Amino acid sequence: MTPSSPLGEAAASARLHTLRHIAGVISIIVGLLVLVALITQITDQLAFGRFEPTEYFAYFTIQTAMINVVVLIAGGVLAFAMERDTRLYTAIRASAFTYALVTGAVYNLLLRDVVNADGYVGPVWANQALHVWVPIYFALDWLLTPGRVRIGWSTLWLAASFPLIWVAVTLLRIEFLDGWFPYPFLNPDGPAGVLGVVVYVVAIAAAIIVLAIIAVTINRVHTRGVRGVTHGRRGTGPIDLPSSRA
């Protein structure tokens, strides 16, 4: 086997940096697109006098979209500031990947044809961006973007934590506060009853876990044999979350 030359390694490194910078620019653009889509929806609802902050910001799509704005723009900045993303950021990006795909799947399979009770139809492009374009971007980005480190299976817990909290808070609101539910399949008084709600919640939770497994698997395939990426147990163990002091 012919050893690689320093010149060849330098050229490969330069190509990686170029690709990483391009991916960073795209990440920032998509992050800004999500932000504009959210602002467009809010301003349109304000114009029609139907904007309810406690309802709008309670949707899983909206909450994950706000997370995506931060994750995508931060990813773009990291692409220019660092040779590789940190392990914590990579795990968060994997989680965002799962949320985006679940959001797209649930919307297109269960909610696309659901009409608002008051007949309101929001800006079509913003709705499409959040439920179709962004999920497609996250899928392609996770498959193709270079420059990430290897993450461990503990990422599954990180990916599942936010949806579980969201479901718990939403169900508590339905039961003990105002009874409002963001999606028809969470209506305990619907045709399927409480059992139907449980089935949908379990199915969506399972989908999130499966997608998180896929995300970690893709990451570990990408980073296999990559110089400078830790493969050992120590490098892929529990994710080190920043500690906070009171």
| pLDDT in 10s for each residue of the chain, 246 residues | 445 566 556 665 677 788 889 999 999 999 999 999 999 999 999 999 999 999 999 999 999 999 999 999 999 999 999 888 999 999 999 999 999 999 999 899 888 877 776 777 889 999 999 999 999 999 999 998 877 899 999 999 999 999 999 999 999 999 888 889 898 888 888 887 889 889 988 998 899 999 999 999 999 998 885 554 554 344 444 445 444 333
Cα distance between residue 2 and residue 44, in whole Å: 62
Residue 208, both tokens: 């999130």
The Cβ of residue 156 has, within 10 Å, a number of other Cβ atoms equal to 20
pLDDT on residue 13? 66
The Cβ of residue 46 has, within 10 Å, a number of other Cβ atoms equal to 10
User: Radius of gyration of the chain from Cα atoms?
Assistant: 20
Burial of 207 per CB tally in 10 Å (0-12, 13-18, 19+): middle
Please report the sign of the dihedral spanned by the C-alpha atoms of residue 197, residue 203, residue 207, residue 213: positive
pLDDT on residue 114? 74
pLDDT on residue 244? 39
Considering the entire predicted model, what is its pTM?
Answer: 0.84
Is residue 131 within 8 Å of residue 60, measured between CB atoms? no
pLDDT on residue 143? 92
pLDDT on residue 235? 46
The Cβ of residue 212 has, within 10 Å, a number of other Cβ atoms equal to 24
